[in-house]
Chain A
Amino acid sequence: MLQVALAQVRQHARRFIAVGLAVMMAVGFLTATLMVNASTEASLGNSIGAGFRNADLVVTEGPEAPLDSPAVDAVKSTDGVGAVYAQEMGWIAFGTSTESGYGALQNTAPAGLDNLELLSGKLPGDGEVALDAGTAEKRGLAAGDTIELAPAGGLVAAEDLAAAGTGLTVSGIVKASKDPFMMGQPQFFTGGELVQHLAGEGGPQLRSIQLDLAAGGDATAVKSALAGALADAGFADATVNTAEEQTKAVVASFTGGTDQLTVVLLAFALVALLVSALVVANTFSVLIAQRTRELALLRCIGADRKQIRNSVLAEALLVGVGASIVGVLGAVGLMAGIVAVLQAQPDTEFAALAVPPVAVAVGLVVGILLTVLAALAPARAATRVAPLAALRPADEARAGNAKGKVRLAVGVALTVGGAVVLALGAVSANLLIALPGGMLSFIGLLLCATLFVPPLVTAVGALAKPAGVPGKLAAVNAVRNPGRTSATATALLIGVTLVAMMMTGAQTSRTAFDGQLGAEYPVDLSVGDLTLEGQPLDVSAAATAMNYDGIAAAGLITNGGHAEVHGARTGVYQLAPEQLDLLQDKTLVLDGNTVLMPQGSELKTLTVTGSKGSKELTVVEADSRTLPPLISSAVAAEIGVPKLPAAESEDYYTSLPQLWVSVDRDLDAWALLDLRSQLAAGLDVNEYQISGAAVERAAFNQVIDVLLLVVTGLLAVAVLIALVGVANTLSLSVLERTQESSLLRALGLTKSQLRGMLALEAVLIAGVAALIGAVLGAVYGWLGAQSALGAFAAVVPDVPWLQLLAVLAVAVVAGLLASVMPARRAARLSPVEGLATV
């Protein structure tokens, strides 16, 4: 029977391509995921090991006793120890004649332990400094130039450095260290004691003591001798490791986060695997159905049920093995490509590819098991083919056997039960209840897909009526085999539902967050405190702000008096009538008798005092909790606008003018963050001095956008696999209907009508699957957001119509594309050829 299976796969290789593709993609995804962690570790090892790659042993401190010079002495005086390098590092400010900045300074190691790569000049001696190539290029420095270094701390202007710093000669340029503590900042290396002097108050950080073994020294013996010596010197918790052990230890301390990444990625790989299992199962059922006669013939000539089943499983095994191998190779290729790209980038050139045997093995085993297990049910169906079926004409597939009914019952029960739990979770705003409820109901829906997918396809198919006979036939053909249609649609439905859920969830949380922001921040952007020059903001700031694109309005809010609020002297600001528009909450009004107070002031009235007098005002509370007390400019004039207190005064900071800005609503996150940078530069303030709802919203939106993009990308794999399934089902159906297509062609169906008919059929199945997925996803997304955020914010469902429409459009176009190949093949067949197979 193996012979039969081999012949099947060889002769009908084309029919197995789709199964192979589906398995391949899922296995590739899984293997790549498993390789991410290993490759990250390898890359980190590359980076971390760079710091001590020439040392034999590395001593690092324990939590109790930080390493210092007695420890270095203890190491030096231990027998068997050769050269010793006490790795010291400090943070420094540096200045050239025109610029200044911050960076890291490290002492150089003695020869032998040295791990700097000199690019030009020489290694630094006493009073000299080497720096990394990137910084040298950026600051226009070369060997022989002079540079000022000073301990980091406070703002260091170039002119201050010239006075306080130490003038050093640049001895050479080195390749930037990949040590994670040094990376990503200007790196300086100096010989001798300079680090000690420049590291500032606490002295330099002694990161490690690296050492070479003396000639003939034995690592194990020296290791224990060192441990003893260090313990005697009071560093009992210090660790002595070989360089390799040290790398592993540090990598382990770094990778807690990447493990989580692996888990998240695995969840998506699981979805992809599930979808491809569906495609495999569906394809095999179709193949079995088409081979009924052939299988019956085998039974007639004496094959028993077990042989039939094993023959089908052997086919699955062959396909599974082939596809899994290609999938694993594809994953390795993909990761190698990514690593190669990273290696070409200066910041990530330490990236390394790791292909752990586990990833390869798991990928292969899962791929093969998935294919064989998915083929199990179709294989069992194959054993039910009666020998007599070879002799009588094939029946049209009949629906509804006992097993199908059980499945439907379980599906309905799960759907209803899960929905109740999900609703409960949503109402009680508890994600831990909602999540299992949602999952159960989704599984239930997938199980009873045959209940609602075919009727929906028929209903939507009515829309194809205007397309005439091809349209009518497409609608009928799409549900000709309800089980097959449901399975095909289900595979696509999974991916689309998850994508739509993420989109709706994101949109809904965005809206919820927006509402929350309104309560938190009174204005889009507010710029506070002093400029970098130490000056208060003045009216020119508003004019400056208005120069930038994206700013709708800007106004300077100035001191209008002060008041005692719960015993504390508080600055009160005045707001001109036209400035009321700057507030987020457009419903707020100020008149001659009111003062606007933040939410939760617990006051009915407030007496505000100006330079000429006081006035008792009625308190109106805003939604915002961070609004400063506000009075109208008319009231301020009435009680006398005070002068700005002296800089030493306690009131100074609560009386400083603020610039309030409202921005264009349609500004996206990136544009807004860019605007903030421009504004900070233009107003001569630090970026953190500009805060407000818009910035928070932008930052949040940015996070959501990136997450959504990543998640959609990951789910796209599952969607792609499902689309392969659509193409596959269609091409198998086309194969089945060769005679029918030929008859239609003979009776006057044109080639393009035939192609159109098949395209419509694919679009119908894909479109309805996407439609159901989008609706389900929107509901799940809303309930999910309600469950996750309901406790903190008012969640109102916000459906991202455009995005969901885009998903639908993509599905429809993809369905069209999926029909291209099968339709081309069907149309190529001349009517005579098709009819000749009778």
Chain B
Amino acid sequence: MTTKTEQSLVGAAPGRAASAAATRGLNKIYGTGDTRVHALKNVDANFDAGKFTAIMGPSGSGKSTLMHCLAGLDTADSGNIWIGGTEITGLNDSQLTKLRRERVGFVFQAFNLVPTLTAEQNITLPISLANGTVDKEWFGYVTKTLGLTDRLAHRPHELSGGQQQRVAVARALLTRPDVVFGDEPTGNLDSKVGAEVLSLLRRSCQEMGQSIIMVTHDPVAASYADRVVLMNDGALVGELDRPDTDTILASLAKLGA
């Protein structure tokens, strides 16, 4: 691709100074013929740096697909993607792998941790993979904030579901990534523990300035975000600023109708 288009597109990005992640004309198609699914249709999105954004929409609307493309876990069929101002479109597998290690953090719905490693080893895993050195002070701060200090030597099966998710959050925060992605990070937790994890995410955004993009179908979870992006049928269909649960429910109901 030519640098010219790249620059012009960056220039064309909506006039916010710092963007955590952005897409332009993103398309993703699964399958062919009868099984062909247009999962993302010309998606133009921008996610502000230092903000907690939730992506919402009915099941099958393309939320996970968008997140996977943004995070360099999957490749789009056309369009451009930027992470922290760097274009990642067209990077090969090992470049994407390196990007994930260094510039992106993840919290998945389940199976977040490597069962053979301790909590501490799990938290430092991306840094170890990059042969980097752990910032001791930052590590202490993150684990203390997440209340994991006395759980660091435990293996995942010795931790509760909420603790496991907190370990995953700590791991995501430790590299100070451009953006932390969460795909239904509280989907497997009961509402009380879920609320705890969501507060942690919001605090990390507010106190550490961490950009967070979270996929969820739960209006309560989305209400922790600064901004909610609504998706339907592979396209962005609206957004809400600092919404509460009722606003979100109302918008969702409109989508369903």
Chain A positions within 8 Å of B, measured between CB atoms, are 396, 468-469, 473, 476-477, 480, 739-740, 743-753, 830-832, 835, 838
Contact = CB atoms under 8 A, between A and B. Distances in A.
A481 B45 CA distance: 46
Given A748-B101, A753-B129, A830-B73, A743 B108 contact: yes
Contacts of B112: 743
Given A745-B97, A749-B129, A751-B93, A396 B115 contact: yes
A165 B167 CA distance: 104
B93 A747 contact: no
12 contacts: A476-B116, A480-B116, A743-B108, A743-B111, A747-B101, A748-B100, A748-B129, A749-B97, A751-B93, A751-B97, A752-B94, A830-B73
A740 B114 contact: yes
B157 interface: yes
B47 interface: no
A33 to B, nearest CB: 44
Given A468-B128, A838-B108, 4 more contacts: A746-B106, A751-B93, A832-B74, A838-B111
Q: Which of B71, B108, B111 has the most CB of A within 10 A?
A: B111
B32 interface: no
Contacts of A752: 94
Nearest to A740: B114
A748 B126 contact: yes
A619 B114 CA distance: 81
B195 to A, nearest CB: 22
B108 A473 contact: no
| 5 A-B pairs with the lowest CB-CB distances in the bound complex, closest first | A748-B101, A476-B116, A748-B129, A469-B128, A750-B97
Contact of B106 (A477, A747, A749): A747
Interface in B75-117: 93-94, 97-98, 100-102, 106, 108-117
B125 interface: yes
Nearest to A479: B116
Contacts of B131: 468
Given A748-B130, A838-B110, A396 B100 contact: no
A746 B130 CA distance: 13
Contacts of A749: 97, 129
Given A830-B74, A835-B111, A396 B157 contact: yes
B109 A838 contact: yes
Contacts of A748: 97-98, 100-102, 126, 129-130
Contacts of B157: 396
A503 to B, nearest CB: 37
B111 A477 contact: no
A745 B74 CA distance: 12
Nearest to A393: B157
Nearest to B101: A748
A105 B108 CA distance: 92
Contact of B100 (A468, A473, A739, A747): A747
Contacts of A743: 108, 111-114
A747 B94 contact: no
A477 B115 CA distance: 10
A747 B101 CA distance: 6
Nearest to B129: A748
A467 to B, nearest CB: 11
A830 B73 CA distance: 8
Contacts of B100: 746-748
Given A469-B128, A743-B111, A747-B125, A477 B116 contact: yes
A290 B68 CA distance: 29
A833 to B, nearest CB: 9
A747 B99 CA distance: 10
A748 B172 CA distance: 12
A828 to B, nearest CB: 11
Nearest to B122: A747
A468 B101 CA distance: 15
B125 A832 contact: no
B131 to A, nearest CB: 6
Contacts of B94: 750-752
Contacts of B71: 746
Contacts of A750: 93-94, 97-98
A469 B112 CA distance: 17
Contact of A740 (B68, B93, B111, B126): B111
A469 B111 contact: no
Interface in B24-80: 68, 71, 73-74
A831 B99 CA distance: 14
Nearest to A475: B116
A814 B189 CA distance: 45
Contacts of B115: 396, 740
A469 B101 CA distance: 13
Given A396-B157, A469-B125, A749-B97, A744 B114 contact: yes
Interface string B151-175: 0000001000000000000010000
A753 B125 CA distance: 14
Contacts of A396: 115, 157
Given A747-B101, A750-B94, A832-B74, A473 B126 contact: no
Nearest to B100: A748
Contacts of B93: 750-751
B176 to A, nearest CB: 15
Contacts of A745: 97
Contacts of B68: 832
A469 to B, nearest CB: 5
Contacts of A747: 100-101, 106, 125-126, 129, 171
A829 to B, nearest CB: 12
Nearest to B97: A750
A493 B68 CA distance: 45
A835 B157 CA distance: 19
A752 B129 CA distance: 12
A669 to B, nearest CB: 52
Given A469-B125, A740-B111, A751-B94, A746 B73 contact: yes
Nearest to B69: A832
Nearest to A754: B97
A752 B93 CA distance: 11
Contacts of B97: 745, 748-751
Contacts of B128: 468-469
Contacts of B73: 746, 830-832
A354 B168 CA distance: 67
A753 B101 CA distance: 13
Contacts of B125: 469, 744, 747
A519 to B, nearest CB: 60
Contacts of A746: 71, 73, 100, 106, 108
Q: Which of A473, A739, A744, A831 has the most CB of B within 10 A?
A: A831
Contact of A473 (B102, B113, B116, B171): B116
A759 to B, nearest CB: 17
Given A747-B106, A830-B73, A832-B68, A473 B114 contact: yes
Given A748-B98, A748-B129, A739 B111 contact: yes
B156 to A, nearest CB: 10
A752 B98 CA distance: 12
A750 B95 CA distance: 9
Nearest to A744: B114
Contacts of B113: 743
A620 to B, nearest CB: 71
Contacts of B108: 743, 746, 835, 838
B145 to A, nearest CB: 21
B77 to A, nearest CB: 14
Contacts of B171: 747
A413 B102 CA distance: 55
Q: Which of B71, B97, B112, B117 has the most CB of A within 10 A?
A: B97
A764 to B, nearest CB: 14
